[in-house]
Amino acid sequence: MAAPSAYEQPTLNRAWEALLAHVPTIILVWIASGVLYGLSMVVYMVISLMGVGLFSSDSAGLTVATLLGYIASTPFWLLSYLVGILFVAVPALFYENGEVVTVNAAFAELMRRPLRYLLAGVLFNLLMAIGFLFCVLPGVAIALVMPVYVNRVFNTDQSIIDALGASFQAVYRSPHGMSFVGVELLAGIVASIIAVCTCGLGALVVVPMLTFYIQNVAYHKGVIS
């Protein structure tokens, strides 16, 4: 059973207050994820450029250098992705436990089951990529399950596969699932408009605030119980 506040009527004001309480955590997640991603790009570029210098006239050598660049940068990219999962996980943990998720608590949870969270993310993104290859709409349908899926992965001991299946059931077969999807789509449109109108700066505030809002909506509508 989640915290009583999770089932209260969702409002943008409540989501804003939740975001304000988590500003240090969200900022550090932004920074850590960005730095790790930047390191992955630097490692890739350095190794690739070294390969260009060593094998400028050898196409096979250039291919090997590029491959090595990808391999060397992958650990940093995976760590960046793992930390980035906290953008959705922090609101899920907050509404489940009813306590502000501090920086230490967020990263302690992440390190408690890192392989589980990483594999869950890789599986979900693989399915979403396949879905987008097939007429886009299946990819969108999968993406809309993410808030519920992340909640189940972090707040239950279900296997990753069971969590994924239960999330699809909750979103697309529960009585209020489609109204939840409507809220997600509307939130996505609003976030996109604000991001475009502010050259992306508005997204730094609106996206995490709406992430808290959507988790609250999911509990309130019974999509997450």
Residue 216, pLDDT > 90, answer yes
Helical spans, DSSP H, in the chain? 12-21, 23-54, 59-84, 86-97, 103-112, 114-133, 137-143, 146-155, 160-173, 177-197, 203-220
DSSP string, 211-222: HHHHHHHHHHTT
Res. 49: pLDDT tops 60: yes
Domain boundaries, the chain: 4-220
Instruction: Report the mean per-residue pLDDT for the chain.
Output: 91
pLDDT at 82: 92
Residues 108-149 have pLDDT tens digits of: 999 999 999 999 999 999 999 999 888 788 889 999 999 999
Q: What pTM, to 2 d.p., does this model score?
A: 0.90
Q: Whose structure tokens read 């060397």?
A: 72
